[in-house]
Structure 1
Amino acid sequence: MSGDPPAPSVPSYDELAALVVEQAALIAQLRAELEQARARIAELEAQVGKTSRNSAKPPSSDGLAKPPPKSLRKKSGRRPGGQGGHPGSTLRMVDDPDVRLRHEPGPCGGCGASLAGRPVARTERRQVFDLPELRPHVIEHELVERECGCGTRTKATAPDGVDAPVQYGPRVSAAAVYLYSGQFLSKERTATALAELVGIPISAGTVGAMTARAATGLDGFLATVRQCLADAEVVGADETGLRVAGKLHWVHVARTDRYTLIDCHPKRGTAGIDALGVLSGFAGIVIHDAWAPYDTYTDATHQLCVAHVLRELQGIVDAAPAGSWCWATQAADALLALHRLTVDAAATGTTVDPTDLATHTRLLRHAAHIGITQTSPRGTKLMAARHALACRLVDREADYLRFTSNPRIPADNNGSERDIRMIKLRQKVSGCLRTLTGARQFCAIR
Structure 2
Amino acid sequence: MEMIANPDIIIEHKPEFCNHCGHDLSDEPTTFILRRQAVDIQPIIFEFTEHRIFQKIYACGHHTKALFPTGVNSSISYGANIQAIIAYMYTRQYLPFERMSEFFSDVCNLNISRGSLCTLLKYFAQKAQLAYELIAQKVEHKKMVGGDETGVKLNGKKEWFWTFQSQVATYITFSNNRGLLI
Extract unaligned runs of 5+ from structure 2: none
In the other structure, the counterpart of 2:123 is 213
CA distance in 2 between counterparts of 1:155 and 1:225 reads 40
Amino acid of the structure 2 residue aligned with 1:98: D
Q: How do 1:21-420 and structure 2 match up within 5 A?
A: 91-109=1-19, 112-146=22-56, 153-269=63-179, 271-272=180-181, 275=182
Preserved contact between residue 143 and residue 156 of structure 1 (Cα < 8 Å): yes
**Of 118-127 and 148-157, the range deviating more from structure 2:** 148-157
Amino acid of the structure 1 residue aligned with 2:163: V
Amino acid of the structure 2 residue aligned with 1:207: L
Shift of residue 155, structure 1, vs aligned partner: 3.7
**Of 183-192 and 211-220, the range deviating more from structure 2:** 183-192
Count of paired positions: 182
- What is the TM-score with the length of structure 2 in the denominator? 0.83
Amino acid of the structure 2 residue aligned with 1:116: S
SS at match of 1:263: strand
Q: Deviations over 1:358-406 (max 9, x none)?
A: xxxxxxxxxxxxxxxxxxxxxxxxxxxxxxxxxxxxxxxxxxxxxxxxx
CA distance in 2 between counterparts of 1:100 and 1:144 reads 46
Alignment CA distance shift 1:195-1:111 (3 Å): closer
Preserved contact between residue 14 and residue 30 of structure 2 (Cα < 8 Å): no
CA distance in 2 between counterparts of 1:98 and 1:226 reads 45
Preserved contact between residue 177 and residue 207 of structure 1 (Cα < 8 Å): no
In the other structure, the counterpart of 1:61 is none
Shift of residue 203, structure 1, vs aligned partner: 1.7
SS at match of 2:89: helix
Q: Deviations over 1:23-69 (max 9, x none)?
A: xxxxxxxxxxxxxxxxxxxxxxxxxxxxxxxxxxxxxxxxxxxxxxx
Amino acid of the structure 1 residue aligned with 2:10: R
SS at match of 1:218: helix
Alignment CA distance shift 1:98-1:150 (3 Å): farther
Alignment CA distance shift 1:201-1:112 (3 Å): closer
Shift of residue 177, structure 1, vs aligned partner: 1.9
Shift of residue 169, structure 1, vs aligned partner: 0.9
Structure in which a larger fraction of residues adopt strand: 2
Shift of residue 127, structure 1, vs aligned partner: 1.7
SS at match of 2:35: coil
Amino acid of the structure 2 residue aligned with 1:237: G
Alignment CA distance shift 1:245-1:103 (3 Å): same
Structure in which a larger fraction of residues adopt helix: 1
CA distance in 2 between counterparts of 1:142 and 1:96 reads 40
Q: Deviations over 1:187-238 (max 9, x none)?
A: 2332232222212222212211111121122222122222222333543221
SS at match of 1:161: coil
Preserved contact between residue 136 and residue 199 of structure 1 (Cα < 8 Å): no
Extract unaligned runs of 5+ from structure 1: 1-90, 276-446
**Of 225-234 and 259-268, the range deviating more from structure 2:** 225-234
Backbone CA RMSD of aligned residues? 2.6
Alignment CA distance shift 1:246-1:125 (3 Å): same
Alignment CA distance shift 1:156-1:95 (3 Å): farther
Shift of residue 263, structure 1, vs aligned partner: 0.9
CA distance in 2 between counterparts of 1:128 and 1:235 reads 48
Preserved contact between residue 104 and residue 110 of structure 2 (Cα < 8 Å): yes
Amino acid of the structure 2 residue aligned with 1:221: A
